[in-house]
């Protein structure tokens, strides 16, 4: 395991790549979507990212104290991160106690309006799993968002019954399934609590009528790939709707055999079978 502190330039490059990936996927229109990374320590911060002020955090995150959260700024376009991090990124050095952070930026930028959900999810996994690195991605892929508007997909079981059947890889990527969260006002305390609870069980959750949130302790790209896998499955489902449900997809028995072949425990299959 590499215990060397990550370099700021490497994280910025990863944020830029993911911003482009989500844009190409059609998941980050305009200023939609947001990204954040927690690291316990950080090397090589560019001098142009200067201290601005100490700000109160929207949620207490004592497990993140003395660590850093790099987050896309409110109103920024994810496609611009690669070319212009100066107008898209904030650095937040969480202070002892976890109630405040020192804000660093090139300009007077503020974190994404959904920063509360990002912080709560980071706090959950750093506190209980000891993660020294943790990434959170929110994106708005059009097919997945559309399905979340339809009552037929309005539960975790229904959504997974529809999505897991289209490619053999999907159940391996999401062995616990994809969580479904009922609509909550963006940036609200309700949305934050639902997201934190959902991502304690799943590595990806769908916000009804709003998009998807994913997390990873491996890399930012790994979290973004989960968006891509979920959106690909949703696109197959959407095409099948247009075709009058002409295809059945993989059967539950097919999915069980895939899991047996690869030694994957997939508890979501038990729920889907009920």
3 state SS of 183 = coil
CATH architecture of the domain with range 141-274: 3-Layer(aba) Sandwich (3.40)
User: Residues of CATH 3.40.225.10 domain(s) within the chain?
Assistant: 1-140, 141-274
3 state SS of 37 = strand
Query: Is 2 a residue whose pLDDT tops 60?
Result: no
Q: pTM for this structure?
A: 0.95
Tokens linked to 174 = 């999401």
> What is the rounded CA–CA span in Å between residue 71 and residue 63?
17
What per-residue confidence (pLDDT) applies to 3?
58
Helix (H) or strand (E) holding 35: strand 34-39
CATH architecture of the domain with range 1-140: 3-Layer(aba) Sandwich (3.40)
Summarize pLDDT for 42-55 with one digit per residue, the tens. Answer: 999 999 999 999 99
Residue 40 makes CB contacts below 8 A (sequence gap 6+) with 5, 66, 67, 68, 132, 133
Residues forming a β-bridge with 206 = 180, 212
Summarize pLDDT for 123-159 with one digit per residue, the tens. Answer: 999 999 988 999 999 999 999 999 999 999 999 999 9
List the end-to-end C-alpha distance of the chain, in Å, as a whole number: 41
> What is the rounded CA–CA span in Å between residue 201 and residue 179?
8
> What is the rounded CA–CA span in Å between residue 46 and residue 240?
49
The single-letter DSSP state of residue 73 is B
Closest by Cα among 109, 122, 103 to 72: 109
Query: Is 273 a residue whose pLDDT tops 70?
Result: no
Summarize pLDDT for 199-240 with one digit per residue, the tens. Answer: 999 999 999 999 999 999 999 999 999 999 999 999 999 999
> What is the rounded CA–CA span in Å between residue 192 and residue 120?
7
Note whether 94 and 69 are within 8 A (CB). Answer: yes
Closest by Cα among 190, 75, 83, 207 to 137: 207
């Amino acid at each position: 395991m590499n215990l060397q502190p990550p370099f700021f330039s490497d994280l910025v490059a990863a944020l830029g790549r993911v911003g482009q990936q989500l844009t190409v996927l059609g998941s980050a229109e305009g200023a939609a979507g947001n990204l954040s990374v927690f690291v316990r320590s950080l090397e090589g911060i560019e001098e142009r990212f200067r201290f601005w002020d100490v700000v109160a955090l929207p949620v207490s995150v004592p497990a993140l104290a003395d660590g850093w959260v790099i987050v896309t700024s409110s109103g920024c376009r994810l496609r611009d991160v690669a070319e212009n991090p100066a107008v898209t990124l904030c650095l937040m050095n969480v202070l002892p106690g976890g109630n405040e952070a020192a804000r660093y930026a090139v300009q007077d930028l503020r974190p994404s309006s959904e920063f509360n959900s990002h912080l709560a999810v980071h706090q959950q996994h750093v506190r209980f799993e000891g993660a020294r690195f943790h990434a959170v991605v929110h994106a708005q892929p059009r097919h997945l968002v559309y399905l979340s508007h339809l009552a037929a997909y309005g539960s975790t079981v229904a959504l997974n019954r529809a999505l897991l059947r289209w490619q053999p890889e999907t159940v391996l990527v999401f062995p616990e399934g994809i969580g479904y969260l009922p609509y909550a006002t963006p940036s609200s305390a309700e949305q934050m609590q639902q997201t934190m609870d959902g991502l304690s069980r799943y590595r990806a959750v769908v916000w009804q009528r709003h998009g998807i949130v994913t997390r990873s302790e491996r890399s930012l790209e790994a979290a973004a790939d989960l968006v891509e896998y979920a959106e690909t499955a949703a696109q197959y489902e959407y095409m099948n709707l247009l075709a009058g449900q002409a295809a059945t997809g993989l059967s539950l028995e097919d999915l069980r055999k895939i899991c047996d072949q690869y030694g994957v425990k997939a508890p979501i299959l038990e729920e889907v079978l009920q």
